[in-house]
Structure 1
Amino acid sequence: MSYPQLQALDLSQHYGPTPALDHLSITIDRGESVAIMGPSGSGKTTLLHALAGIDVAQSGEVIFHGADRPVSIHALSSEQRADVRLRHFGFVFQQGLMLSELTVVENVALPLMLCGVDRASAQQTVSAWLNRLGLAGMEDRRLGELSGGQAQRVAVARAQVCGPDVVFADEPTGALDSVTSGEVLHALLESSAEHGTTLVVVTHDESVAARCGRTVRLRDGQVVSDTAVTGVMAP
Structure 2
Amino acid sequence: MSFNLRNFTGIYGLQEDSIVFKEASAALSDPQFQGKAWYLDLDERGRTRSVFALITQKFICKHKEEAALKGKHHNKNYRSRKNVSGERVGGNYDSSTQNWSKGSGKSSDSTGKGSSVANENHLLADELGGDIRNHNIIWGTRTLNVGEIEANRHEGIRYVEITVKEYLINHPAEKVAYLVTPIYSHDERMARCVFVKAKSVLNPYGVNINYFIPNVQEEFEICYETGFIRPIRD
What is the TM-score normalised by the length of structure 1? 0.29
Higher fraction of strand? 1
Higher fraction of helix? 1
- Greater relative contact order (Cα < 8 A, sep 6+): 1
